[in-house]
Structure 1
Amino acid sequence: MIFPTILVFCIVLAVGYGQVLGSPEYCTDLIPQSNVTVHKLFGTWFGVEVITHKDRVTGERPSSDCIYVVISGITYEMATARPPENSREIVTQFGKAPISNPMKDYRYLRLEWTELDEKVEYILRYNISRSGFWLSSAPHERDHFGDKPSYSDFSGIIQVIVETDNHLVLTFCETIPKRQLFSIILTRHSNSIPMDLIKSIHDKLRNRNLQNIAYRPVCAGVDLIHGSYFLAITIALVFAIQ
């Protein structure tokens, strides 16, 4: 009777584990943009708004803190701290046999998130067939980036929801170190996203079954949103006077 009991326990555990990972709150495939021209994303982006999809606190929480995101391409060796896999064959007891690199279709990225005096570095990889779906790819050595690496042990997925020349929307599903699900709206130039565009991005996130629970306009986003309100009030007063 011990074996059936263990079998039932394993099935229950597997089902529960699958439900957690497959739930809408956890790393669901959001059907990101597939043909992202990744090299066009390289460089600095300015944060406009952080949207939390899983939080006990709701509503808008403006912040004067600024967020800067820098995206760059890195090599396999930089991402993994391993030597390049140039060998085309291995020696076995039966002689030489050809090998293929299972990671040959992957490319690697570094995403640096700077907020106040803190910088978090994400090491990511993506398959060239799905360039908008980025997976965490940690270095094998903790000291790969120096004595005090800024790497945060991020484990999860980043998906490119919107990509244009002027703005970018990324959704982070983080399992380690914290269970978080959030999106960030980024722009190439500060104060360059109008309110109607931000609202349309909110709608796109909802269409992907992401609940927009809490909004945190940051730096440029705070100035832009507040400026839009003041502009609307000014226009209303002008028409009222007329």
Structure 2
Amino acid sequence: MALQIRMFSLLLTYVKCFSENSYYFENHKYCDDLSPYYGDINLDSITGVWYGVEKIPHSKGEYKIEHTRDCFYIDIKELYIEPTPPTPYPPLTNSPYVNRQFGLPEHYRVRHFVLEWHEGLWRDDYHIKVNTSHKGFWPTDVPSRSVDNMYRFFGGVIQVLKVANNHLVLNFCMRLPNSQLFSVVLSRNENQLTGEDLASIHNVFTMKHLSTSALKRVCDNSASSLTVSYLVFLMLSSLLLRSRT
């Protein structure tokens, strides 16, 4: 009897490992796993509103920094928790999923969230599912919408590159409806991050081999002063040219 229980236990472990590897493999066909992540990922404290600071498209090219007064923020909300399904192998029926890192029972395995992206009057929802054994890897889920709206479905993976009390860094690997790879730097409160904070965050991109040649600093009030300075420069140049003619 003890041998049968041991065999069932090994079989259950194999099935779980296979299902987890399949779960990640389906997404890794398009998006690399960028773990390990920086910071303790607490899914409960990571929810709520985060304000955009920077958006970095990871495309190689001419180095440029863009300043814009346009703002965006995200709101992460939990939808529901998917309980661990009971095993069909007695006497292991209803045995909870085991967190292999600590050897402790885990009462749920997949948590479903929606990430709402708000930018001006525009809003889009990213439906994501999080396997609690790999909390920083968020594959997108098919939203429960009408068919016409599903054409805007984000197909890919969102990953947590860094999380701290005052900031969050997310990487978006999009393959549907078009191919994109970009990251966003977010702060818990508006105008909270310092230059030192941003320098530390940019080191993470370097370690992950993600290009930062192009960078957009959003919700930046200095963008208006830059525009005014440029207009003044144009006016002075025009007056100077007129005085010479």
Provide the TM-score with structure 1 as the length reference.
Answer: 0.66
1:122 pairs, out of 117, 126, 129, with: 126
Task: Write the mapping of 1:92-131 to structure 2, written as runs, cut at 5 A.
Answer: 105-131=109-135
Task: Write the mapping of 1:167-178 to structure 2, written as runs, cut at 5 A.
Answer: 167-178=167-178
User: Structure 1 residues 49, 168: closer, same or farther in 2, change over 3 A?
Assistant: same
Report the identity percentage: 32
In the other structure, the counterpart of 2:194 is 194
Segments of structure 1 that go 5 or more residues without pairing to the other structure are 1-17, 78-83, 90-97, 228-242
Superposition RMSD in Å: 3.4
User: Structure 1 residues 161, 66: closer, same or farther in 2, change over 3 A?
Assistant: same
- Distance in 1, matches of 2:44 and 2:84, equals 24
In the other structure, the counterpart of 2:100 is none
Please give the secondary structure, in 2, of the residue aligned with 1:203: helix
Q: Deviations over 1:14-45 (max 9, x none)?
A: xxxx9xx77xxx52111135851011011111
Query: Is contact 1:191-1:224 (8 Å) kept?
Result: no
In the other structure, the counterpart of 2:65 is 60
Task: Write the mapping of 1:157-236 to structure 2, written as runs, cut at 5 A.
Answer: 157-219=157-219, 222-223=220-221
- Distance in 2, matches of 1:209 and 1:131, equals 21
Number of residues of Structure 1 aligned to a counterpart in Structure 2: 187
Partner letter of residue 213 of structure 1?
S
Partner letter of residue 56 of structure 2?
I
Please give the secondary structure, in 2, of the residue aligned with 1:105: strand
Partner letter of residue 145 of structure 2?
R
Query: Is contact 1:34-1:131 (8 Å) kept?
Result: no
Please give the secondary structure, in 1, of the residue aligned with 2:197: helix
Q: Does 1:69 align with 2:95?
A: no
Partner letter of residue 133 of structure 1?
F
- Distance in 1, matches of 2:224 and 2:191, equals 11
User: Structure 1 residues 86, 51: closer, same or farther in 2, change over 3 A?
Assistant: closer
In the other structure, the counterpart of 2:145 is 142
Partner letter of residue 203 of structure 1?
N
Segments of structure 2 that go 5 or more residues without pairing to the other structure are 1-24, 98-107, 226-245
User: Structure 1 residues 224, 168: closer, same or farther in 2, change over 3 A?
Assistant: farther
Instruction: Pick the structure with greater CA Rg.
Output: 2
Offset at 1:223? 3.4
